[in-house]
Each structure stands twice: as structure tokens, then as C-alpha cells.
Structure 1
């Protein structure tokens, strides 16, 4: 009988610890889901800006079909990505394709980079990239 009391206290303590851990894990899961949704919203905004930059390049004489198609393929893959691992891979590929397009614009139409609408798009893209980096870090 004297052994039952310490065992009961140990079991009660273990149960309390497990309940606290379960509550904390559930809270972390909700926070993680919320952060993923925020990251997805930022990714959609960033993809929209990148699409507008590609359209501006196309309408302003940057007609390198290979570079534009690479951006379009990477853009489609990034939009289709549903899980964090695939999204990270698609984002990396999109950034490479987009960087190549911006290098092409800089070489073929450098004046376009200085035009107000295009410069605003680039600024917005930079802000969205910063926000995405922060979300990924969290």
C-alpha cells in the first residue's frame, strides 16, 4: 500500500507533463500553419510581381524566348508547389530563372531598369523577398 502512493504521484506527474507537452505541440502546430499561410500569401504576391516584370520585359523588347520560357516554367512550378520542401525547390528555380531574365534586361534594355514603373516593381520584389526570408526564418 505504501508503494501505491508514490506510484500514483509519479503517474499523475507524468500525465501532467504529457498534457503540457501535447498542448504546446498543438500550439506550435497552429503557429506553424499560420506562418505557412503567411508565407504562401507572400509567395503568391512575389510570383505576381515576377510575372509583371516578365511581361514588362516582353513588351519592352526583351524577346529572348529561352529566358522568358524558363521564367514561365519556373513560375508555373512555384504556383503548383503545395508543401514546404517543394515550394523551396520551386522558389529557388524561379529565383535563378528570374535573375537570368534581369541580367538579360540589364544587357539588352538597361533603360528599362530605370523607368519608374519597372523600378517600383523591382523595389516591391525586394520587399517581398525580405518578407519571405523572415517568414522562412520563423
Structure 2
């Protein structure tokens, strides 16, 4: 819900303002419901999906497919990929690119933090199980 709200209130409204003001003196702007809602979904849905990144990282860490310490080593490359994604889903101006890239990078950092927490808890459970202690008796 947060991703959809961010996509609507911050990105979509700014894009619509940019597009309607771009040719204000040259032509008359008209919208159809189909085109408007299609454009709305195209602009907000990627943010709804992107805001699921922390949950996906936690799930992949729990399953054992992702190690957060390996992800940290790849951070600079993943930042570059996030900036490219931000530039593809935002209007063609530098301020919009930055204003979309910063939340994506913050979400990525939150994902790493939550993934580290899940990874450490998983390691504790494994070490407690290796000692032969019932995991329900141990408090975290």
C-alpha cells in the first residue's frame, strides 16, 4: 500500500503535471478513462512491487537463497541497477530520477538490514538445535 501511495502521490501526480504543462500552449489536452487508468497503473504498480523488496529479501534469506553479507559486497552494482530502474520509471528530468532513486536505495538498505536480522536469528536457531536444546525454551 505504501508503494502504491508513493507511486500515486509523488510520481504519478508529478508526471501528469509535467505532461500537461509540456505542450500547454500548443495543443488541448484530453484524456479517455481507458488511457488515464492505464497510465495510472503503469506508473504506480512498479512502486507497489518495489516496496515489497524488504519482504522478498527476508523470505529469500529465510529459505537460504540469499546471504545478506554477500549482498553487501555487491552493493555498488545494485545501486547502479536501482538508479537505472529509477530513470526508466520516472519522467525525463534529473530531479525526478533522483527523487525516485533515493526511495529505491533506502528500500534496498532496509531490505539488507531486515535480511541481516533474519539471517542472525536463523543462525541462532541452527546453533541452538546443534547443542540439542529445545528451541522453544530459548528466548531470543
The verdict on a shared fold, with TM-score over 0.5 as the criterion, is no
Compute the TM-score of the two structures, normalised by the length of structure 2.
Answer: 0.28
Structure showing greater radius of gyration is 1
- TM-score, with structure 1 as normaliser: 0.29
Higher helix share: 1
Highest RCO, 1 vs 2 (Cα 8 Å, sep ≥ 6):
1
